[in-house]
Amino acid sequence: MLTADRAYHNRSPLDCMRAGAIGAAVRGSEGKEIRSTVQGRVAVVTGAGAGLGRAYALLLAERGAKVVVNDLGGARDGGGKSSQAADKVVQEIRSKNGTAVADYNSVEDGHKIVETAVSAFGRIDILINNAGILRDKSFARISDQDWDLVHAVHLRGAFKTTQAAWPHFKKQGYGRIVMTASNSGLLGNFGQANYSAAKMGLVGLSNTLAIEGAKGNIHCNVIVPTAASRLTEDILPPEFFAELKPELIAPVVAWLCHEDNTDNGAIIESAAGWAGKSYIVTSQGSVLRKRIGDAVSIEDVRDRWTDVTDMSTAKYRESIQEASGELLNVLEAVRDGPKEDEISKTFQITDKDVILYALAVGTPISDLHLLYESHENFCALPAFWINTGLVALMESDIIVKAIPGEDISLANLLHGEQYLEIFEQPATNGPLEVRCKVADVLDKGSGAVVIVDVESYDQNGTKVAFSQITSFFVGAGNFGGRRTSPRAINAVEVPKRKPDATIRQMTNPQQAAVYRLTGDLNPLHIDPDFAAIGGFAKPPLHGLCSLGFAVRHVLRQYANSDPRLFKALKVRFTKPVFPGETLQTDMWQEGSRIHFQTKCVESNNVVIGSNCNLVSVENGIS
């Protein structure tokens, strides 16, 4: 699957134009003019006699590059030959005091084009493979000639020209290559089987050249332009054709050729003043057998096909080595068969999830950076990252299976303690994999305690957070287990002095109803009959909802409400809170550690006892 970055990943350039979104997709010229490090570079632009190639050549020459303007001067279908197109662009460049020479060779004779550059200027630094032709026909009507000619110009031509330039790039320890692909290659297009196959072939060629050239400071990237040209004049709707100016794409290509640009192996789409990055992603997929040695049947594939094709948690893989590593992980997972006390689940986190959580824990509109996805400091409240592990556990039965010989009801489940540590700020948009494992099971007599470790990983496989969920099951004890665990992370008692700061906030009568939408759907917190089974007069508020309030209070008091200063916490849930009651968070500062304790004002019960550890960033702790 190919996708583009962030807000425009599901829009084509034409969609952006229809929505009037071009202005939103393009940043204005806010900074100073870029330092011209194409000055004195030698650039070869193929197919530079008109359209995009001409725009590239003119801009590079304007910025001080010496340009070889290559154009065979043929027709759109590849027929004919003329020197007029290349000569005209060279004249334009020279009329503006630029430096350029013309080249009329076919890209299949790429070595001759490179020889022109070396003969005229002594070197070659930049190669833009832009030459192209069209011979559009429906698949059934494509002749061998239609296929061969299109591939000869687009794919073989780029190969031959780049191969001729490669030794020069290697010798001088510098080179910038741009391949020209197309949305027809990335997405397909009726009547362009030959063209789309060649264009996608250029993506594969670029990927390999990026790998092979990296050590030699040779970068290869792909531009996917949509511009008004002789190739698109009778394809695009007339109302858009005039807006697709090649001059709006040329700066994007020039930046790809710039020595300050470190991109290598990127696919960049651009049209009408818009640009976005595209990449190939792979679904999480599904293991089709339980263990090595098992066969895979058609029925196995059918039964797991939804998971195989689910792209909601698709992941970008940086290299073939990473893909191979993931395969080894799969083989490792099935070698000994599934482990009943471990689960893994990937969530597709969105800005909406982050905002809903913030609202569910009483965040005021004054904390706009927690509620507005376009705020420059938008981020998630720390306790949000507990929810994914909790949801994964509730959707599985590993906790229930961990308690010997017991039939456990959710009405008897209490969230006893919670630990959370953030290693790196997770992204508010993208996949998050959580791996849950039962760390220990304790026999407390009146009930059983199950300790679950939860590790969270981002799309790059980096562990971004760790949490430990301690659950108490009423009436499930006396099975002969041990009472304490070396794996448990213990809470620290608060100082025995008056609090340094206190914040009060009333919860809403609908607080639990809203909070459950963040993922904790335990009916104990919404259904009076279910709550009665658990011994409650009415549904209590989620302990994690109260924790969300408390953590916000600590961040407001000591970190200017900046979640990025948070490091870790451990809390113990001691008494219930009911929606509509008032929470009071008392706080004590000891260095970078902030102890806090939360009370219910109406009952005067301590409902959370804990410590919250903040990491200072510059003057973050006040």
- The sign one gets for the Cα dihedral 185, 188, 194, 195 is negative
DSSP 279-313: EEEE------SSSTT----HHHHHHHHHHHT--TT
Distance of CA 441 to the CA centre of its chain: 37
Say whether 276 sits in a helix, a strand or coil.
Answer: strand
Strands (DSSP E) contained in 447-544 are 447-457, 463-474, 501-506
SS3 content of the chain, % helix, strand, coil (to 5): 35, 25, 40
DSSP string, 334-348: HHS---TTEEEEEEE
Distance CA 440, CA 399 (A): 10
Size of the chain, expressed as the number of residues it contains: 622
Residue 195 annotated as catalytic:
yes
Write phi, then psi, for 301 (nearest 5 degrees).
-65, -45
593-600 sheet: strands from edge to edge: 342-349, 430-443, 447-457, 463-474, 413-422, 566-573, 605-614, 593-600, 582-590, 501-506
The phi, psi pair for 478, rounded to 5°, reads 60, 40
CA distance 424 to 603: 38
Reduce the DSSP state of residue 589 to 3 states and report it: strand
Which of these is catalytic: 195, 357, 419, 457? 195
Whole-angstrom distance, CA of residue 70 vs CA of residue 103: 5
Q: Which residues pair with 440 in a beta bridge?
A: 451
Enzyme catalytic residues: 195
